[in-house]
Structures are given as C-alpha cells and as structure tokens.
Amino acid sequence: MRLVVGLGNPGPKYEGNRHNVGFMAVDEIVRRHSFSAWRSRFQGLVSEGESVGEKVLILKPATFMNESGRAVGEAMRFFKLQPADVTVIYDELDLAPTKIKMKQGGGNGGHNGLKSSDAHIGVDYWRLRIGIGHPGDKSRVIGHVLSDFAKAEQPDFQRLLEGISDRFDLLAAGKASDFMSKLAMDLKPAAAEKKPVKSDPPVVTPPAVKAEPTSEQQGGLAAQMKRWLSGDTKKN
C-alpha cells in the first residue's frame, strides 16, 4: 500500500494559495483517476484508489500546515506503513515556479509542514517539491505563500498538475527517475511548426512586340510598291 499526502491549509480561504499546491496536486489525481469521494479520517480528508494493482490512500491533513505530521503519522501507523511507503507533495520557495524535484529523505528547508512530518514519521519518506518561486525578500515570504497564484501563472500550473496526475503510477511507486524524465518529456513545449517558405512568383517575360512601321516608312513602302507594279523599278 502507498500513502500519498498533499500538504496545505483547509478551508476556502486558502484553497487558491501557493502554499496549497500540494492539495491542488492530489485533488487533480483523485479527479483524473476516479478515486473514491473524499471522506473524513485520520485528522484529514482521505480518498482511496489503486495504482498498478496496489492500493493507494490519498490524504489531505485538516490540521493546518504546521501540524500536518499528526495526520500523516496516524494514517501511517494505522496501516503499518514505513516512511518509504509515503510520498508528500508540497510547495517549494527555492524552486522557480512550475519546476519540480523528487527525492527520498533530506532536510525540511524551513517548510513547517515538513518539520511536522519529520517529527511524526521520520525523514525517510519521499518528497515531491513543486516550485512556487521566492518573492526575493524574506519579509515578503508569508504574504507570498498565502496569496493566490496570479492569473498569468495559472495555465502553467494547471498543466503541471495534470502532468503529475498523468504520471501518478510512477510517482506513487517512488520511481523518481522515471517519473521526472517522463514528466519532463510530457511538459516539453511542442516544437514550433515550420511555416512553408514563400517563394517569389516566377518572372514571366512577355513576348517581344514587333514594332509597327512609322507613317513615313509606310509612305515609302507604298510608293515603292506602286513603281514595282507599274514596271518602273528605277530608283529616284
């Protein structure tokens, strides 16, 4: 069995926040893979389904970000799972928007949801970091993470979340290398279609127009013809 956790804060006030991109990711997985309806359990909301024949539990802690580990720990202990069976999806300030990284274990980078998870289940779980970018100044971090994605950012993030969902089987199995490479290929911008080069139309040379004789030439020819007909071929 696999446990996949999306981190975020509960309630409509926070649902569009950058800090809730973990919730957004698992919502997309549940929707696109026809998992069960959300229900309350383990101090959060859970949805169940399968991936490559293995049972998967999706969890959104309802404890608020700073206490996320309580819900994760309760679910892990109930199913007698190991940290390596758990994947946590969360927002990462130190990654550019829509960039992702996945690895097992490591530090928490100051992320309160990870700090809580580390305290309750140890550090050897899988982490999928979704970049939301840094505002550039430490004093602006809280406002940045607790604000909604800008309208211009939303299409790129939606495409990323759909890509994560499409490669969910690899994600849930902890196949980080395959997941990252396949997702990168999926998200690679399509090569621009080559437009046919317009060639200049062929130059058509009009046929030469035979010059008409002038009036003087016409007069001389008439006189010569008259002399010839009269038998007078002597030139003037």
Cβ neighbours around 29 below 10 Å, total: 26
* Rounded distance between C-alpha atoms, residue 8 and residue 58, angstroms: 13
Catalytic member of 19, 33, 120, 144? 19
Token pair in block for residue 121: 């289940």
Q: Is 19 a catalytic residue?
A: yes
Q: Are strands 39-41 and 44-51 parallel, antiparallel or unpaired?
A: antiparallel
DSSP the chain: -EEEEE----STTTTTBGGGHHHHHHHHHHHHTTPPPPEEETTEEEEEEEETTEEEEEEEESS-GGGHHHHHHHHHHHTT--GGGEEEEEEETTS-TT-EEEEES---TT-HHHHHHHHHH-S-SEEEEEE----SSGGGHHHHHTSBPPTTTHHHHHHHHHHHHHTHHHHHTT-HHHHHHHHHHHHSPPPPPPPPPPPPPPPPPPPPPPPPPPHHHHHHHHHHHHHHHHT-----
| Cβ–Cβ under 8 Å, residues 125 and 113 | no
The residues annotated as belonging to the active site are 19
